[in-house]
Structure 1
Amino acid sequence: MDAYFIVAIVFLLCFALYFTDTLLKSCLHLPYINLLESSGISIKPLQIKWSTRMLNRSFQRWGSAPGRLTRLWFACGVWITCALLLPSMLLLIYTIYRLLWPAAPAAGAGAAAAAAATRPAFILEPVLPGVNLPADDVPYYLVTLLVCSVCHEIGHAVAAVREHVRVFGSGLLLVLIVPAAFVDVCSESLAALPPGRRLRVLCAGVWHNVVLCAVAALVLAAAPLALAPLYFVNDGIIVYHVEPGSPLHGATGLSAGDLVTGVDDCAVTTRRDWLSCLARQAAAPPAGYCVPSDITATYDETIDHPFQREETGTMECCAASNGSSHLCFQFIADESRPDRGAPPFSCLPARAVVDAAPMRCATTAACAEEHFCLQPALENGTRLLALRRRGARAVLFLGVPAAAFRDTRVSGYRPRSALFSASLPLRLETLARYVLSFSAALAVLNAVPCRALDGQWIWEALLEAG
């Protein structure tokens, strides 16, 4: 679904909700207002706010915990946050600089390289669902924002109670579809604190985000070892879903439970290898297959007059009756041995060529005697890939390598038992990566001296203390 259409629907729903709220307040004045006040809900243009005092008792209990450990905890938060102040400002300045003055392309660079060089390379970049965030990752995006903001506000609330600053309440805020948490503290009591004690409250949010980053990094590092009793790790990737409309879907394609161990001659043991092998095949020039001469003699079904397709510029030497099982292969000669008696084009079954080829080649000189280097005559960007599977024949994929990655869901964790899901570890790792990056970004942004952010009050407290 188009991202702009989704945004339009969200705006329309927000407008309808605000219009309904305004209408009910005018028609059912007292009952509706009493309902909103009792539930703690307030509706404004493009946002819904829910406030509660249910957590005040928990904040009071956590903030009143005696001992030096909690005092040391929030003191560490002040030091860590202050250490982030200058790097955060430099990072923001560098991001603005790259936005206003993008890097110039190197001399002699191609069009693609020039476009990539002139595009600003952000370090801090807004994440927009449907634009630079995959639609499948939107749930992770929303959950991560909620977790990071809740952790941030809990830090402020507990530190405020410890410094005897009153907490009026807390709640959740929904702006469009973006969730966030908030804590309502007594600003007069906070402003009356000495700078050192005030910094413990102001820095607690950034500090808790830093701790959350460390927890997420620990989860990512420990996941393979912790899940080893339940899953085989780094032993190939297991397929757990294939898109129904994909060329890889069906009886001759990949199936849930297949263990992929390689892409052509590129070994695959982890999910990162899967992406790396597909990217390598996409970037490398098309390679040929060292095919025995008897293969061409046995299977060749070349039409009498091969022709070049006008729309793609590729050669076509197969009849329409051959179907998708046959491809047109062209002979790749070598200057030292330009001809070995091979025809310039051969219509051959792709499966027979891939199964019979002992190795890949760039020219016929790389092949043994009585072998030809035959390269599929394909459009630019299209590749013939052999996806190697353990215990089964390789699956042949004809298309853009990026489509193979997009149309399949794979995991580097192979369950030891059918009771465990192959996708669960991947989902946990994806969530941990989002938490790590978003919590780090929230910590950096709140350390910047910008209006309405924690950095504004932190810098004021530091200047007052100095």
Structure 2
Amino acid sequence: MLQTTWIALVLGFWSSLYLIDVFLKTYHQTARYYLHLLEGSGISLSICQLRWYTTCFNRAFVRLGQFKPTFMRIWFSMGVVFGLIAMVISLFVLTLMVFNTLRRQPVEQQVLTPVMPGVNLPTNQISYYLLTLLVCGLLHEFGHALAAVREQVRVNGFGLFLLILYPGAFVEISTEHLQVIAPIRQLRIYCAGVWHNFIIVLLALLALVLLPIGLIPFYTTGISVVVSNVVQNSAVSGPRGLAVGDPVTSISGCRVTSVDDWYNCIRVSMRENTLGHCMSLDIIRELDTSSANFKNNSTRRLSRPSQFVDCCNKTSNTHLCFMYHIRSFPETKFACLPARTTTDRPTCKFRSDCYTPKVESACVYPALDNKTRLLRILHGRKPPLLFLGDPLDLHYSVAVSNYVPKSSVVPVGLPYVIETFCKYLISLSGALAIINVVPCYALDGQWICRAFTEMTLRPFIADAEIRNLVYSVILIYGTLILLANVTIAMWTLFS
């Protein structure tokens, strides 16, 4: 249902935009002014595509491209080395993927995984995805423009586009100038885009590594975790539940100092029974609110371990049925006790853990079924939260972070935003580098392959037709192998 809604919204937006564009272009009172506006602003609209083209950045490209000529030459020469190595590796990996699939031995992780909003991309992360695409596209084209200026190739203009839902950028370079320069200079221009994509990956990795150090003035780590999100109308939401910004230090005695600890404590609570609490028999009898009829029959044994006993008859939200054993009577006894008062007592696993001289005590356990647990969550200076239910509900209802703000002014979600954005930069920029460098029609790899074959084969093969044949064979193979991988990835996603 959510996917259908998204598709309907996108189609509705583009249909409305296209109809408005057609109307303004054909209506006699608006056509002249509208066409003049489009021409002056550089905006053009077609079916499911919006483009903006400008020449206002040309001078900036010239200034930056002429900055530190020696450094720029070395920088883009390193890009050539990376582009050629990456092209060979990409072809090998993509070929291996197809080969393993044909042998019915696919690798565990697909090299190419199409990202589809609403399918394998959560709707709450679409903004990260689109912003990352725009940043990667801008820096990719920025590399082409700087390398072109460095090699004395004219840059005609720069533009942005929106294709259906996906943003991007492009740079227009003079084809006449590009074709007459040496192949090695062409390679510096063609490889600059994927080289910058690779640099983005390295910078994002460095940012992730240095993030804990950079956030030290604003956040603390290693002491507790902080609640970063709570699902509305869940078992732990509400005025007395968990709230965004609450520091969590413990789950039923299990220490929580990191996100890993949080999930580990939840797993432990699912695997082990709920801990008991030590109470003297006198206090149990004093606090017990079970009906007289239930007390008289509470010595019966449970018919099966998973049976749930309700000795409180659902008359109170503050009391819970507990079971315990006493030394003089082997059968299980039950008592309806106030949950908060009882869980404030020392924890125990066995009756022997509650031994005190001259006072007979018992270890009282919640009378729950196999999946239900009573968890006592310590969150800041607030009273402990008593969670009664399946720990999996706690797992899916609450998101936590390692970074606890030192001040209420510091946003709780900032580290998550930075981490998520860096991870998207790593995955998407890396994928763009891998795909763009493949010798395939309409990709950078097509022109990289053309310039490389000319540079390497011209000294040995004088016939241009033979060189073109070698180039065409590589290009066709790269195109087919990339299409095969895309087909496999789409089949894996939707099958």
Q: Which residue of 2 aligns with 1:166?
A: 154
Tell me, in whole angstroms, the C-alpha distance in 1 between the residues paired with 2:437 and 2:334: 65
Question: 1:6 and 2:6 equivalent?
Answer: yes
Query: Among 346, 358, 362, which residue is 2:347 paired with?
Result: 358
Contact conserved, 1:330 with 1:377, CA < 8 A, in 2? no
Cα deviation code 1:55-80 (max 9, x no counterpart): 11111111122431111111111112
Question: 1:148 and 2:136 equivalent?
Answer: yes
Residues 105-184 of structure 1 mapped to structure 2, 5 A cutoff: 121-184=109-172
Cα deviation code 1:372-392 (max 9, x no counterpart): 584653475x54433223444
Query: Among 69, 73, 76, which residue is 2:78 paired with?
Result: 76
Tell me, in whole angstroms, the C-alpha distance in 2 between the residues paired with 1:156 and 1:45: 27
Query: Among 435, 455, 461, which residue is 1:445 paired with?
Result: 435
Determine what percentage of the aligned residue pairs are the same residue.
Answer: 36
Partner-residue secondary structure (3-state), 2:402:
strand
Tell me, in whole angstroms, the C-alpha distance in 2 between the residues paired with 1:215 and 1:397: 42
Matched pairs, number: 437
Residue identity opposite 1:449 in structure 2: P
Q: Which residue of 2 aligns with 1:62?
A: 64
Residue identity opposite 2:241 in structure 1: G
Question: 1:425 and 2:415 equivalent?
Answer: yes
Q: Which residue of 1 aligns with 2:205?
A: 217
Residues 136-285 of structure 1 mapped to structure 2, 5 A cutoff: 136-278=124-266, 280-281=267-268, 284-285=270-271
Query: Among 256, 267, 276, which residue is 1:290 paired with?
Result: 276
TM-score, scaled to structure 2: 0.77
Cα deviation code 1:195-241 (max 9, x no counterpart): 21111111111111111111111211112212212222332122355
Partner-residue secondary structure (3-state), 1:43:
strand
Tell me, in whole angstroms, the C-alpha distance in 2 between the residues paired with 1:208 and 1:358: 58
Question: 1:322 and 2:308 equivalent?
Answer: no
Residue identity opposite 1:61 in structure 2: R
Larger-gyration structure (1/2): 2
Contact conserved, 1:415 with 1:422, CA < 8 A, in 2? yes
Query: Among 345, 359, 377, which residue is 2:368 paired with?
Result: 377
Partner-residue secondary structure (3-state), 1:288:
coil
Tell me, in whole angstroms, the C-alpha distance in 1 between the residues paired with 2:364 and 2:438: 60
Query: Among 87, 92, 95, which residue is 2:94 paired with?
Result: 92
Of stretches 194-203 and 370-379 in structure 1, the one that deviates more from structure 2 is: 370-379
Tell me, in whole angstroms, the C-alpha distance in 2 between the residues paired with 1:103 and 1:281: 36
Partner-residue secondary structure (3-state), 1:238:
strand
Residue identity opposite 1:165 in structure 2: V
Cα deviation code 1:396-416 (max 9, x no counterpart): 223454543544454322333
Residue identity opposite 1:343 in structure 2: T
Contact conserved, 2:72 with 2:150, CA < 8 A, in 1? no
Tell me, in whole angstroms, the C-alpha distance in 1 between the residues paired with 2:433 and 2:166: 18
Cα distance, 1:432–1:272 mapped onto 2, change above 3 Å? farther
Partner-residue secondary structure (3-state), 1:397:
strand
Residues 308-347 of structure 1 mapped to structure 2, 5 A cutoff: 315-327=308-320, 341-343=330-332
Question: 1:411 and 2:411 equivalent?
Answer: no
Cα distance, 1:42–1:447 mapped onto 2, change above 3 Å? same
Cα distance, 1:378–1:122 mapped onto 2, change above 3 Å? farther
Cα distance, 1:413–1:350 mapped onto 2, change above 3 Å? same
Tell me, in whole angstroms, the C-alpha distance in 2 between the residues paired with 1:83 and 1:217: 21
Q: CA deviation at 1:174?
A: 0.8
Q: Which residue of 2 aligns with 1:112?
A: none
Q: CA deviation at 1:352?
A: 4.8
Contact conserved, 2:312 with 2:321, CA < 8 A, in 1? no
Of stretches 444-453 and 313-322 in structure 1, the one that deviates more from structure 2 is: 313-322
Q: CA deviation at 1:48?
A: 1.0
Tell me, in whole angstroms, the C-alpha distance in 2 between the residues paired with 1:400 and 1:53: 61
Contact conserved, 2:278 with 2:345, CA < 8 A, in 1? yes
Q: CA deviation at 1:91?
A: 3.6
Cα distance, 1:330–1:134 mapped onto 2, change above 3 Å? farther
Tell me, in whole angstroms, the C-alpha distance in 1 between the residues paired with 2:392 and 2:87: 40
Q: Which residue of 2 aligns with 1:18?
A: 18
Cα deviation code 1:262-318 (max 9, x no counterpart): 33344322334434544x248x53423234464865547488499xxxxxx863524
Residue identity opposite 1:341 in structure 2: P
